[in-house]
């Protein structure tokens, strides 16, 4: 199973690790639902930026959330395949979970997936 | 069909039928961007492209997913930071980038990429050697 990475803050990484990606998550001061869950293959390529960059920038925006962190999770090929389309070919390293495009299936198996939090 | 309409149709084709994913869409946007500039907004589940040529401006809306629009902006951020490291955040900023097919063609960029707001302003700075 490929390992997918998501750069964020430590607080959010722990929350996602425990409960799965939350499409209804609202960032403090924002007011808009997250709607989706963006990850990248641990092997890259990183055409949209590295998870470390996202983690550092997110931690800078939210300094009370425990610093940068990277959530790593092993996701079955069959679930990843649901995200692949003409916009997000796997060759570009991005695995984008949207409603109707893998997000529900990812949440359904989340509790069974091996995962860890790394320092960002 | 006037020049602006041709351009907006080219943008529509590039975004609705990408052949090289989000990376290719951004390459196409930079290739097609008129000298007078381009603005992209995300509003009410549509990508709105404002395309300026000469005295005219035309807007088209494209029904792409918000995540695709945000990925386009993320790619723009990466290109800005390749040109000048740490010049912008993935979540927004102002920077410069160049066209991959012709690095002499430079662009001024301003963008916001947060859950609540997604916009991009792109202005061609042209080719310093004289090519438009």
Residues ≥6 apart with Cβ < 8 Å to B38: B29, B49, B50, B51, B52, B120, B121, B122, B123
pLDDT of residue B129 exceeding 80: no
* C-alpha closest to that of B27 among B38, B18, B37: B18
Residue B90 lies in a domain: yes
pLDDT of residue B58 exceeding 90: no
Domain count, chain B: 1
* Residue B78 CB neighbours (<10 A): 20
Establish if B32 touches chain A: CB-CB under 8 angstroms.
no
Find the closest chain B residue to A32 by CA distance: B116
Whole-complex ipTM: 0.93
Q: Give the range of the structural domain holding residue B53, as residue numbers without chain letter.
A: 3-123
Find the closest chain A residue to B71 by CA distance: A48
Residue B97 lies in a domain: yes
Strands B56-62 and B92-98: unpaired
Average of per-residue pLDDT across A53-66:
95
Average of per-residue pLDDT across A74-93:
97
Q: Give the SS3 label for residue A76.
A: coil
Give the CATH number of the domain where residue B109 resides: 3.30.450.90
Contacts of B20 in chain A (CB under 8 A): 89
Task: Dig out the tokens for A17 from the structure.
Answer: 């690790």
- The DSSP letter of residue B39 is E
Residue B130 lies in a domain: no
């Amino acid at each position: 199973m490929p390992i997918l990475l998501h750069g964020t803050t430590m607080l959010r990484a722990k929350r996602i690790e425990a409960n799965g990606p939350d499409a209804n998550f609202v960032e403090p001061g924002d007011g808009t639902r997250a709607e989706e869950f963006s990850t990248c293959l641990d092997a890259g390529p990183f055409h949209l930026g590295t998870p470390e960059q996202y983690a550092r920038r997110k931690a800078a925006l939210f300094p009370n959330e425990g610093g940068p962190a990277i959530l790593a999770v092993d996701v079955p090929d069959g679930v990843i395949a649901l995200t692949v389309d003409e916009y997000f070919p796997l060759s570009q390293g991005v695995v984008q979970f949207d409603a109707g495009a893998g997000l529900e299936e990812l949440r359904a198996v989340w509790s069974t997936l091996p995962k860890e939090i790394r320092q960002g | 069909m006037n020049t602006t309409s041709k351009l907006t149709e080219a943008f529509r084709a590039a975004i609705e039928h990408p052949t090289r994913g989000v990376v290719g869409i951004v390459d196409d946007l930079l290739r097609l961007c008129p000298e007078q500039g381009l603005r992209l907004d995300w509003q009410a589940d549509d990508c709105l492209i404002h395309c300026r040529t000469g005295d005219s401006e035309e807007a088209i809306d494209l029904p792409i997913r918000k995540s695709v629009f945000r990925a386009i902006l993320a790619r723009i951020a990466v290109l800005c930071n390749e040109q000048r490291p740490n010049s912008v955040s993935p979540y927004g900023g102002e920077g410069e980038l160049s066209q991959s097919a012709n690095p002499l063609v430079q662009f001024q960029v301003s963008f916001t990429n947060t859950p609540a707001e997604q916009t991009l302003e792109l202005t061609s700075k042209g080719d310093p050697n004289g090519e438009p």
